[in-house]
Amino acid sequence: MIEKSKHLFERAQQSIPGGVNSPVRAFKSVGGTPLFIKKAKGAYLYDADDNRYIDYIASWGPMILGHAHDEVVKAIQEQALSSTSYGAPTELEIEMAELIISMVPNVDLIRMVSSGTEACMSAIRLARGYTGKNKIIKFEGCYHGHADSFLVKAGSGVATLNIQTVPGVTAGVANDTLTCAYNDLAAVEQLVEENKNQIAAIIVEPVAGNMGCILPQPGFLEGLRRICDKENIVFIFDEVMTGFRLAPGGAQEKLHVNADLVTYGKVIGGGMPVGAFGGKKEIMQHIAPLGNVYQAGTLSGNPIAMIAGYTTLKILKDHPHIYHELEEKTIYLRDNLHRVFLETKIPFVINQFGSMISVHFSNHAVNDFGSAASANNELFKKYFHAMLQRGIYLPPSAFESWFLNNVLTKEDLDNTIEATRESLSEIL
């Protein structure tokens, strides 16, 4: 029963557009009433009706240590006693920056912001200011936040809601945003040639999470790196999802490819609204007040957000075995889901990298937005609701990666696998 959630959703629609403060929460892709969450602890969410769910969203990635982690909560509580914001520098900001630089390869300087969108938007502005060029290349289905430049052929909620052209994005902005299919290196080479000396940056999710979990094919990221070196293009990794989730040094460490600039969010805030962008000193020194590329924020480096992120990252740095455990759990889930799906004879693809995973009802490989969109997403809707009824909370869209947290137990994983067996039996 979700009677309280239904009532709250009806009430919310009277004062909040669509009843939600972020579109994918509205369940429009899967239908039905969104759950209103009352609390969370460890691997579990509890809705307004006190139903418990095994959580595979992890607040869209940041709760890598589980919800309401004791050390993180204690650090937030202690910091709050000294005020929630100053609008002035703190030593904690320095400690946070030093910690990140110690963990991540190829980052000399880093600037804190308040969201992943802000981080990506700022990185693009910096790349344009640094190179003196205006155009960028992004990839279809990659979502880099809701800044105007990024809403051209974006994934995530834009794909979920089937919004092809976003009102409010001017033609000029759209014309400066060039798009290619993810994993299509030849298309990038052609675009670069057609727009010689006009491209400031190539921005990419090194492991995409906004069209499901999509892995880079061998040579794709390395090829982008070579193009950027040759053409004086700033290479930006959007690690809002992958940063500090795939490894202490993120995708750069895991995939052995260096970017010029990297953007962060999610895990870096430990559940608080935090983002950051950083990279090579020669580029980052163009940001004000060192340089003339302006970026500012009243709540950038907010002490509550900083202590939550610092505590989370310190735990991850001091206990690197967490990454091995997370990957083991994800592989266990992948392999056993694979076995259950095989029993049904239904076409399926399971993509997995580190602690990111997604299920696609498809009879062909899913390696870009086109292949993700052509999967049987109507069947995914049925699967989602059947799993929800069995206490498994999956992302309410076929275009979103699942994120595991490290307090998931083998029993939780086995319950998820059994729920999948029952769900498929019910909907097929």
The catalytic residues are 143, 238, 266
Alpha carbon distance, N-terminus to C-terminus of the chain: 24
Widest pairwise Cα distance in the chain: 61
Tell me how far apart the alpha carbons of residues 294 and 213 are, in angstroms, rounded to a whole number. 34
Instruction: Say which residue the tokens 């040759």 belong to.
Output: 230
List, in sequence order, every residue forming a beta bridge with 202; answer none if it has no partner: 137, 235
How would DSSP label each residue in 290-322? Answer: TSSB----TTTT-HHHHHHHHHHHHHHHH-THH
Strand order in the sheet with 356-360: 349-353, 356-360, 402-403
Q: How far is CA 382 from the centre of its chain?
A: 24
Look at the chain and count its residues. 428
| Angle separating helix axes 410-427 and 377-389, nearest 10 degrees | 120
Round to whole Å and give the CA distance between 388 and 394.
7
Cα 385 to chain centroid distance, Å, stands at 23
H or E segment and range at residue 137: strand 135-140
State both tokens at 84. Answer: 């929630």
Question: Strands 109-113 and 199-204, how do they pair?
Answer: unpaired
Q: Which residue type is seen at 417?
A: I
Mutual orientation of helices 303-318 and 91-103 as an angle, nearest 10°?
30
Order of strands, sheet of 44-47, starting from the edge strand that comes earlier in the sequence: 37-41, 44-47, 52-55, 392-393
